[in-house]
Amino acid sequence: MLGSVYSATGKSAEAVAELGRAVSLAPNSDEFYRRLGDAFVASGNVAQGIDSYQKAVKLNPYYWVNYNKLGKGYAHKGDFPKALQAYQQVVVFNPDIGAGYDNVGNVYLQQGKYKEAIPYYQKALQVEPYFTTYSNLGTSYFFLKQYSNAVEMFQKAAALNPNNTQMLVNLADAYRGAGQQDKARTAYQQAIASGFKDLQTNPKDAEVMAQMGLSYAKIGNAAEAQNFIRQARGIDKNNVLYIYYEAQIDALLERPTEALALLRDAFGKHYPAEYAAGDEDLKNLQGNEEFTSLIKQYSKKNP
């Protein structure tokens, strides 16, 4: 995803330079290395960010936050095995917080290992009933086609954060899976309305734009679906999630050639093929030989 050449601009470059000076003055500070790692990742240089997080771990190998940061760096890069190792260390060094369990669950979820993710999310919820954990647990149930459980979890997530566009999209997807089409359409429309409110506060929120694009596709508005996903891609063209979202939208709009090209790009950038294999939004591709071949080629379950 990233080349070896790094060029930062604006505030990102200033932050990297300032924190680089701080590290040179306090080379034994794991906190400064964590902050430097954050600045590198925010500027798009994930490789340098991971290197900084590794130095933080080396300086203080018993502090869970260092492993949590390192895990996020690897997950951002798409290196899920190393992300899993880092997050498991969070659980070891601080079993009384939800972050470690939650992030282990997230890594399993991103690899399509839904059954493995569920107990970690359940453990995280015992520690702290956070809305994103309910949502991710709902996603695990959704891909296992346990739609009633998925609806329940997404309802709890939406109740804790009723104005969150992503939560509303998730709930709508669960209603659709459960065959409750009227409730699904209403929830997608609510997600779009929520998205417009979000964009009034942050007009450059690419994630909100992407979710609005998906919602428009699922209610059959092709023009607006493509408009919003292209805006999101324009803001962050190399984000593998947005590449995948555009593939979902093209599949929903019955544009298989475009969807397959985007999926190949996403898989090449380490988006888990296992996740795509069970994605209801790609059901229009299920009988396509090229889709089957792509899943087989990129699935980690196949050598």
Asked whether the whole model's pTM tops 0.85, one would answer: no
Number of domains in the chain: 2
Residue 20 sits in which domain range? Answer: 13-93
Residue 163: its pLDDT value, please? 87
Whether 40 maps to a domain, the answer reads yes
Residue 272: its pLDDT value, please? 85
Residue 20: its pLDDT value, please? 64
CATH of the domain at 70: 1.25.40.10
Whether 162 maps to a domain, the answer reads no
CATH of the domain at 231: 1.25.40
> Consecutive 10-residue runs of the chain (303 residues): their mean pLDDT?
31 62 68 82 85 90 92 87 94 92 93 93 94 94 94 96 91 96 97 96 96 97 97 92 96 96 94 86 94 92 43
Domain boundary among 93, 125, 140: 93
Whether 239 maps to a domain, the answer reads yes
271-280: b or e for each residue (b if 16 or more CB lie within 10 Å)? Answer: bbbbbbbbbe
Whether 228 maps to a domain, the answer reads yes
What is the SS3 assignment for the chain? Answer: CCCCCCCCCHHHHHHHHHHHHHHHHCCCCHHHHHHHHHHHHHHCCHHHHHHHHHHHHHHCCCCHHHHHHHHHHHHHHCCHHHHHHHHHHHHHHCCCCHHHHHHHHHHHHHCCCHHHHHHHHHHHHHHCCCHHHHHHHHHHHHHCCCHHHHHHHHHHHHHHCCCCHHHHHHHHHHHHHCCCHHHHHHHHHHHHHHHHHHHHHCCCCHHHHHHHHHHHHHCCCHHHHHHHHHHHHHHCCCCHHHHHHHHHHHHHCCCHHHHHHHHHHHHHCCCCHHHHHCCHHHHHHCCCHHHHHHHHHHCCCCC
Residue 41: its pLDDT value, please? 83
Whether 166 maps to a domain, the answer reads no
Residue 22: its pLDDT value, please? 61
Whether 233 maps to a domain, the answer reads yes
Whether 291 maps to a domain, the answer reads yes
Domain boundary among 65, 93, 121: 93
Whether 181 maps to a domain, the answer reads no
Residue 3: its pLDDT value, please? 27
Tell me: the pLDDT tens digits for 133-158? 999 999 999 989 999 999 999 999 99
Domain boundary among 30, 63, 93: 93
